[in-house]
């Protein structure tokens, strides 16, 4: 099979997490840049990365990259790419676009030029003048950054955060991809208890359980490239069988999600059932201030209220103070990991973080505050 240049897109701050996931899958020849990790693989890599990547947004085929400061250059550069190697005669190929700091600043015009160029290349390849676009979808994106155009095909379809288990959402839901990244960045060892005292609809506990049990996050959904003639159905079948074979569903984990809202806890339980994890996670109604555990060493990982809306700041600040007291007085040997946009979190919590990392929850700039507790004694 041919070597294909691929791109795993990522939210800002998660590029290194995605790069590490790709290396674990065996794709070590890579380039890490803002918002994306470029790597190389074959057709089977498209199947495996869509199924396994936990923190990436999408997997793209990179068709080509070139300088374009005029519409003629954009047209000719696009036309020169091997579209017929991927797109069959009946392919549907919508074009999306974005342009940043470039002479070609009109996105609709760039999309129209790319569409026209692809049609012209298809005319040459298939010796026909009209294309019905009645078949599988091959979404093309033209992205122009500082006059350099990158043309890609989206293999994923719906974003990779769409795992298939979360049909319903609570207010301000945390994306599955970000939740998975928070768990990975915490370096949580699955033999220890993990608790989320603001679990909402259950995303962090569910993603933690999937990671601990080595369950492929894309196992319950489909992808655009499953309908592409270039990628045989056999490769998808093999990739899904590999995912099933590698899952460790019998592993024992201790994961707890609590919240004060019984309505969102019902959502959390529903999502856990959809993910096949209802027996792996315990959800309980409880104010976080009542948290007490018989386990001496554990991980507390959460995405508490930020106080983004007017009138909610004081409530959020009280939560951060209480959270700091909880760790100090009742869970002093636990590790604690908190995602928030509040600039004064460390002051309110009562101590500086061991480590912090800038991340984005949607468009909200946040920091991930990491407080590492002591290691348990070795026997």
Confidence of residue 289 (pLDDT cuts 50, 70, 90): confident
pLDDT digits (tens, 9 = 90+) for 29-51: 999 999 999 999 999 999 999 99
Query: Which domains does the chain possess?
Result: 4-154 (3.30.2130.30), 176-216+248-371 (3.40.50.150)
Give the residue carrying structure tokens 């049990």: 213
| pLDDT (average), residues 174-194 | 97
- Please classify residue 331 by burial: count the beta carbons closer than 10 Å to its beta carbon, then call 0-12 exposed, 13-18 middle and 19+ buried: buried
DSSP code per residue over 305-344: ----STT-HHHHHHHHHHHHHHHHHT-TTSEEEEEE--TT
pLDDT digits (tens, 9 = 90+) for 204-249: 999 999 999 999 999 999 999 999 999 999 999 999 999 999 999 9
Give the residue carrying structure tokens 């945390």: 174
Core vs surface per residue 22-50: b (16+ CB within 10 A) or e: beebebeebeeeeebbbbebebbbbbbbb
pLDDT digits (tens, 9 = 90+) for 92-149: 999 999 999 999 999 999 999 999 999 999 999 999 999 999 999 999 999 999 999 9
Question: How many residues are listed for the chain in this entry?
Answer: 379
Among the listed residues 46, 228, 61, the one whose alpha carbon sits nearest the alpha carbon of residue 137: 228
Backbone angles phi, psi at 318, to 5 degrees: -65, -40
What span, in angstroms and rounded, lies between the C-alpha atoms of 219 and 9? 19
pLDDT digits (tens, 9 = 90+) for 348-360: 999 999 999 999 9
CA 377 to chain centre: 35
Instruction: Give the pair of three-digit tokens for residue 4.
Output: 């294909």
What span, in angstroms and rounded, lies between the C-alpha atoms of 267 and 248? 25
Backbone angles phi, psi at 26, to 5 degrees: 100, 5
Residue 325 near residue 350, CB atoms below 8 Å: yes
Residue 299 near residue 337, CB atoms below 8 Å: yes
């Amino acid at each position: 099979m041919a070597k294909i240049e691929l791109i795993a897109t990522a939210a800002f701050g998660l590029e290194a997490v995605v790069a590490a996931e790709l290396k674990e899958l065996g794709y070590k020849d890579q380039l890490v840049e803002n918002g994306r990790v470029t790597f190389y693989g074959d057709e089977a890599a498209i199947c495996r990365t869509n199924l396994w990547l936990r923190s990436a947004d999408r997997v793209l085929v990179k068709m080509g990259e070139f300088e374009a400061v005029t519409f003629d250059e954009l047209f000719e550069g696009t036309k020169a790419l091997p579209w017929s190697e991927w797109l069959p005669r009946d392919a549907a190929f919508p074009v999306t676009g974005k342009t940043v700091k470039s002479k070609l600043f009109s996105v609709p015009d760039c999309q129209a030029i790319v569409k026209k160029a692809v049609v012209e290349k298809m005319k040459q390849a298939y010796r026909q003048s009209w294309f019905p676009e009645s078949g599988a979808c091959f979404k093309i994106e033209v992205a122009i950054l500082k006059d350099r155009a990158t043309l890609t095909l989206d293999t994923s379809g719906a974003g990779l955060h769409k795992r298939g288990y979360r049909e319903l959402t609570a207010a301000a839901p945390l994306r599955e991809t970000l939740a998975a990244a928070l768990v990975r960045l915490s370096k949580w060892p699955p033999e220890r208890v993990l608790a989320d005292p603001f679990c909402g609809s259950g995303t962090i506990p569910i993603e933690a359980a999937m990671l601990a049990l080595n369950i492929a996050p894309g196992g319950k959904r489909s992808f655009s490239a499953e309908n592409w003639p270039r990628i045989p159905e056999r490769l998808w079948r093999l990739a899904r069988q590999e995912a099933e074979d590698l899952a460790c569903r019998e592993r024992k984990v201790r994961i707890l999600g609590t919240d004060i809202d019984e309505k969102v806890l019902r959502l959390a339980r529903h999502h856990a059932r959809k993910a096949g994890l209802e027996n792996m996670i315990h959800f309980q109604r409880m104010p976080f201030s009542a948290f007490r555990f018989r386990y001496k060493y554990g991980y507390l990982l959460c995405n508490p209220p930020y106080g983004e809306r007017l009138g909610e700041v004081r409530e959020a600040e009280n939560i951060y103070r209480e959270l700091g007291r909880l760790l100090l007085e009742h869970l002093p040997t636990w590790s604690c990991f908190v995602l928030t946009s509040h600039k004064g979190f460390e002051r309110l919590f009562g101590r500086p973080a061991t480590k912090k990392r800038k991340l984005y929850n949607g468009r909200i700039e946040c920091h991930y505050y990491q407080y590492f507790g002591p290691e348990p004694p070795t026997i």
